[in-house]
Amino acid sequence: MSRREKITGLVDQLCQDLYEREEVMKLALLSAVAGESIFLLGPPGVGKSLVARRLKFAFSGAHSFEYLMTRFSTPEEVFGPVSIKKLKEEDRYERQTEKYMPGANMVFLDEIWKASSSIQNALLTIINEKVYRNGEQEIAVDLKSLITASNELPPEGENFGPLYDRLLVRYHMEGIKDQRNFLQMITSSSPVYRDEVAQEYKISREELTAWSKQIDGVEIAEEVLSVIQVVREKIERYNEKQEHARLKIKVYDRRWKKVIRLLRTSAFLNERDKVDLMDCFLMIHTLWNQPEQLKVVQEIVGESIRKHGYSVSIGLSMLKKEVSDFEAEVEREVKIKHKLSEEVLRPIEEEYYALRKNGEQFAGKYIMVKDYNKLKLDELDVVNLYDEDFKLVNRLGAEKTQEQFGVRVKHNSMVHPIKLETYKKDRVEYLLKEPHPLVKQFWEERYEKIEQYLLAQKRKMQEEHPSELRETKRNLFVDEQLGAIVKANHQEVLDSLEALSLRLEKVKHLYENAGTRS
């Protein structure tokens, strides 16, 4: 069984009889394999503890610890009681930790923000360093997954910031929304708290240890690093606009490093040796501090992938500037501006032309632009004339005229040639001069350099990335519908490269043919 098949089967069994909890279950599993923690925010009764208890079924031989915090919780209840024997016989202050959090692999701490400062301080060391200070010695903690939960955010002014910052994945859980799912959930009698995960799908401690080392070797694609950089800059710009500190999206350097670990784990479990743009959508669950920021983070991440994914990694902006600069340089050298003045019709309110005021019988009247155009094509034999208020005053026979800016109308058996009002309009015409042979040679070398880079980037987009695009529907942890955003950026970059190639060819044609024509 391949790694991907194993995780696919495991996810299916973990999510069995769970309704609208598939995403959070997948994120909990992903964070556990990555060795990171997850915080579940939501009101009582939405399944936070269910997710935590289900997750421990994913691992064989795992020791779990679960505790509901209260304002009166003591360190003894979480980290173990003090050993009276050692205190009496050896005068050593140590805890009996085996059956408590320091001795567990899977830990669920409910109502985490009710923890006292002494519990918090110990948690910080365990989460960050995987170490518990037991008296005078430090115990290595084999913590694989820490799930925390609460129906509220950390209280302001109580210094929960360091602990909250260490909880990488954050998920806002709500009640079941779909009516059918709701009815199925309340009528189901399935034993949701019973371990029914087949042994073949469970992850052993040996596998988890081996995977952890392999995850560190997963490559980070250039486009992924580009997106992360853009997301970080967008968050900084967003924060600059916020007047209150609470509204700012606070993401520190340590969290970004943990984000990379999460993305690598996603790629690894999907059996890829490189993180791709689909994995980047997981950042949505790691960057918000307040639930109301979730939509902002979704927009920032989605927009960064849509506009800058492959674009930045291939240097599209730089490439556009290079072609534009080349274009401008050639045009400055070979084009000579020449101003001309020509007579053109003067449109009135864009729909009429005025008949010239030269004493003729119909002077001062107006003809519609569309009628005049039909007359020039000999497609009209009757023309309407309008007064200064653009009311119809005459309906006359008409015929095509050979004179420029004129019409011929028939009135009382007479033919009257009538001119239309015109004005002088300046226009610019360019004459081309042949460049110096040395300049032309320099341009040819520059053209070859840009063309080769363009071809290399097009080859990269057409040959390397399509395999990633096919994977957009197979990511185990990201909604396949988000693949449309990745594909849109890929197509946009391809179209831009084609347009730049066309512009480059036009530049080449311009300097090669300058001086041979005007």
pLDDT at 430 over 80: no
pLDDT at 517 over 70: no
| Mean pLDDT to the nearest integer, 243-248 | 84
Alpha-carbon distances, residue 267 vs 144, 210, 270 (angstroms): 19, 16, 5
The residues with which 108 forms a beta bridge, in sequence order, are: 66, 147
pLDDT at 518: 44
- Identify whether the C-beta of residue 405 lies closer than 8 Å to the C-beta of residue 420: yes
Give CA–CA dist 469/456, Å, rounded: 19
Residue of higher predicted confidence among 384 and 93: 384
- Identify whether the C-beta of residue 205 lies closer than 8 Å to the C-beta of residue 104: no
pLDDT at 428: 78
pLDDT at 400: 77
Q: What is the residue type of 388?
A: E
pLDDT tens per residue, range 22-31: 999 999 999 9
- Identify whether the C-beta of residue 154 lies closer than 8 Å to the C-beta of residue 246: no
Give CA–CA dist 486/461, Å, rounded: 12
Q: What are phi and psi of 37, to 5 degrees?
A: -105, 160
Q: Which long-range contacts (CB under 8 A, 24 or more apart) does 313-322 make?
A: 313/221, 313/222, 313/223, 313/225, 313/226, 314/457, 314/460, 314/461, 314/493, 315/457, 316/493, 316/496, 316/497, 319/450, 319/453, 319/454, 319/457, 319/497, 319/500, 320/496, 320/500, 322/450
- Identify whether the C-beta of residue 76 lies closer than 8 Å to the C-beta of residue 63: no
- Which of 232-236, 257-261, 405-409 bottoms out in mean pLDDT, i.e. has the lowest? 405-409
Mean residue pLDDT of the chain comes to: 89
- Three-class SS of 158-190: CCCHHHHHHCCEEEECCCCCCHHHHHHHHHCCC
| Mean pLDDT to the nearest integer, 87-114 | 84
pLDDT tens per residue, range 503-514: 999 999 999 988
Instruction: Look at the block and give the residue holding tokens 């959070």.
Output: 24
Q: What is the residue type of 143?
A: L
How buried is 440 (Cβ within 10 angstroms: 0-12 exposed, 13-18 middle, 19+ buried)? Answer: middle
pLDDT at 3 over 80: yes
pLDDT at 465 over 50: yes
Percentage with pLDDT > 90 across the chain: 48
pLDDT tens per residue, range 292-335: 999 999 999 999 999 998 888 888 889 999 999 999 999 998 88
User: b/e per residue, 248-278, with b = 16+ CB within 10 A?
Assistant: bbbbeeeeeebbebbbbbbbbbbebeebbbb
pLDDT at 505: 96
Residue of higher predicted confidence among 364 and 457: 457
- Cα-trace Rg, the chain: 37
| Mean pLDDT to the nearest integer, 329-352 | 87
pLDDT at 173: 92
pLDDT at 291 over 60: yes
